[in-house]
Amino acid sequence: MAPLSTRFTELVGIEHPIVQDGMGPFRTSKLAAAVSEAGGLGTVSIPGMTIEYEEGKRVLREHIDETVALTDKPFAVNVPVGVDDEGKMLHISEALISAVIEARAESDKIRDQLRVLTTSAGYPGEFRDRIRESGLIHMCKVGSTRQAERAAAAGADVIIASGYEMGGHTHKNPVHTFVLAANVCEVVDIPVLVSGGVRDGRGLAAAMCFGAAGIAMGTRFIATEENTDWHPNYRQRIIDAREGDDGVVPGVYAPARVMVNRGTAELMEVIEKGSMTLDELTVHKDELLKRAQIDGDMEHGFVAAGQVASGIREIVRIAEFVPAMADEAARTLTGLASTATADSAIS
């Protein structure tokens, strides 16, 4: 029996309240399938925000097809929803959300399994109705309590409260996980997942103490045996990371947390000199991300990762790790309850 069933696991129909969150522009189909197979919820990521629209839709569909070929369990897709200067949703975000909705409409197997769309980096505004009508569960990732309240009021089904220490694109205004988790759980009554800095069952237990219904992780899942699509140097860099190795630099659509290296220094020089147009710079940053993930260049590539990397010491097997993490959280919570009871009996 699953050790930790929550409102979230019941809503989505999974065993453990553990989500592998989106990690675009990287291929995460194998990761997503492995996490879902292990009883959590895996997420297929976008192929990039600078990709040509039709090509973006094609690649995303290929990743969805790969995931359903590897598992029969539920999974999610993540699409960041940037807005343009007039506040309209970016065309690439619209195209990728449409690709998700079309994939579900075209295949019963995809519709059964692709149950969740996680939007991040903004709220999908008028697209919200299309998401709901398609039957998708809508998870909305936020970095502040105000955003959480607005997303819940606009009809989101689940909130991911992601603190500033998270890997990849983070938030303009830093609110850290410990503060954000407590604040968000207090103000919304839909299920909340805590994200940013979680790596084991103790983190899941802590999230549940705040009132959350689960957690979402990115960095922890990079350093896994099943993550064979990424260059091995990337996984090793996570294992080697120490406190202070990370920093926040201007990312593709928001500030991004990466490992500080020669690539980040060179990028800051380019920005200071103004030697690239904004569009060129955006494409360049997307290329730097792929240089790390595909070519394994840890010196010049963008190695997106969270502060939690400093506590990750080994490459784990997802098939064992996910159930063990849920079990550790359940034991931690039970252990704390019995210690508290024993202490109050003594005093």
Ligand X SMILES: Cc1cc2nc3c(=O)[nH]c(=O)nc-3n(C[C@H](O)[C@H](O)[C@H](O)COP(=O)(O)O)c2cc1C
Do 34 and 226 contact (CB within 8 A), yes or no? yes
Shortest spacing between CB 333 and ligand X, in angstroms? 21
The least CB distance from residue 3 to ligand X, in Å, is 21
Q: How far is the CB of 1 from ligand X (least distance, A)?
A: 27
At 91, list the tokens.
């065309």
How many C-beta atoms lie closer than 10 Å to residue 225's C-beta? 14
Tell me how far, at minimum, the Cβ of 234 lies from ligand X, in Å: 8
CA distance 94 to 89: 7
- CA dist., res. 139 & res. 121, Å (int): 12
Q: Which is nearer to ligand X, 51 or 109 (CB)?
A: 51
3-class DSSP state of 19: strand
Residue 215, token pair as written in the block: 């957690």
Residue closer to ligand X, measured from CB, 78 or 134:
78
Per CB under 6 A, residues contacting ligand X are 21-24, 45-46, 78, 80, 120, 141, 162, 166-169, 195-198, 216-220, 304-306, 308
Nearer CB in complex with ligand X: 74/342: 74
**Please, what is the minimum distance in Å from the beta carbon of residue 77 to ligand X?**
11
State which residue, 107 or 284, has the beta carbon closest to ligand X. Answer: 284
Q: State how far the Cα of 176 lies from the Cα of 21, in Å rounded to an integer.
A: 18
CA 249 to each of CA 141, 170, 219, 264, 265: distance values in angstroms, whole numbers, following the listed order = 20, 10, 17, 7, 10
* Smaller CB separation from ligand X, 112 or 294: 294
